[in-house]
A and B are shown apart, each in its own frame.
Chain A
Amino acid sequence: MARIIVVTSGKGGVGKTTTSASISTGLAKRGHKTVVIDFDVGLRNLDLIMNCERRVVYDFVNVIQGEASLNQALIRDKRVDTLYILPASQTREKEALTREGVEKVINELSETFDYIVCDSPAGIEHGALMALYYADEAIVVTNPEVSSVRDSDRILGILQSKSRRAEMGQDPVKENLLLTRYNPSRVEKGEMLSVADVEEILAIPLLGVIPESQIVLNASNQGLPVILEAESDAGQAYDDAVARLLGEEREHRFMSAQKKGFFSRMFKGD
């Protein structure tokens, strides 16, 4: 039985796809057979972030509608051989993702995979609801910013009422907070919500904090999951998050600003 993890947020542009790519790559790198599914029908982008956009032949909706087999649609990652990508359809209507169709695909994947990572579209419409419906666990990606935090709280409410686990009265979906685009020096100046602030408002366990970093854009430019930039702060922060997801204890890092000397602040500014 695979463990099903949804990466969700409500708000767009906070780093869901970046996170899905890195978390799935991290799980696969540790030897777990992992598939990452793009649920954003019509606005496919996971393929670009994973650098397999030119290898897409069949997609998720083709499989649901019986036009292709799973094996035909799954793309094997060229860097990590236990990682597969199931791309979203670029042309179909979002309603093509039926609950029965998604269930059929997830059940089939469950037979051979250890982890199924579902990359949710933004919003709280059909695609987002389908992405979270079958989840055992959720990674709620949040930026330290008012609209993102509010939308995350909304998505938490939906996880608690509209997921399969909620409807069946089973144990609730396990919730994890992943704070992304965190800028410790702005937090210290009182310009940005701190980790503690967001934890206090959302009241869910913290999986990790990803510092705002130029490396994230550089990595996506090249179709490289940022976790593979093993020297970078963001890459290491994602690696820590994967370790914690697997039950390892790791201290949180990158949460305080690099101290600047008096003179560099005086003459170079920040």
Chain B
Amino acid sequence: MRLLDYFKSKKSNNTASVAKERLQIIVAHERGQRDQPDYLPQLQQELLAVIRKYVQISDDMVQVEVDRNDSCSVLELNVTLPES
């Protein structure tokens, strides 16, 4: 059996690379959120409420993000409208 293990271990699946990939994604996402101003979630809720007066959209159809550059910040608002 040991002999078999020896040859099998050569091609055992690489879970470390899966870990690295998952970490890179979640860490990048959380760093993005960390730099966002505190008012963003509420701003998103209020925008959603205003838009809903006119169009029925779901929560995930409004994306609000702040992009910071050296000299200025850009508030990016993405609204996906349902197909009519």
Contacts and interface: CB of A to CB of B under 8 A. Distances in A.
A binds B: yes
A152 to B, nearest CB: 10
A196 to B, nearest CB: 10
B34 interface: yes
Nearest to A153: B27
A190 B15 contact: yes
A187 B15 CA distance: 10
Looking at chain B's contact residues, the main secondary structure is helix
A30 to B, nearest CB: 35
A189 B14 CA distance: 7
Given A190-B14, A197-B16, A201-B24, A153 B5 contact: no
Interface residues of A, number: 22
Contacts of B14: 190
Looking at chain A's contact residues, the main secondary structure is helix
A266 B15 contact: no
Given A146-B22, A197-B20, A191 B27 contact: no
Contacts of B3: 266
B19 A150 contact: no
A149 B20 CA distance: 10
Interface in B4-18: 5-6, 9, 12-17
Contacts of A149: 23, 27
A150 to B, nearest CB: 6
Nearest to A157: B34
Given A153-B31, A154-B30, A193 B6 contact: no
A120 interface: no
B2 interface: yes
Interface in A59-91: none
20 contacts: A150-B23, A153-B30, A154-B30, A157-B31, A187-B16, A189-B9, A190-B13, A190-B14, A190-B17, A191-B16, A192-B16, A193-B19, A193-B20, A197-B16, A200-B20, A201-B20, A265-B2, A265-B6, A266-B6, A269-B2
Interface of B: 2-3, 5-6, 9, 12-17, 19-20, 22-24, 26-27, 30-31, 34
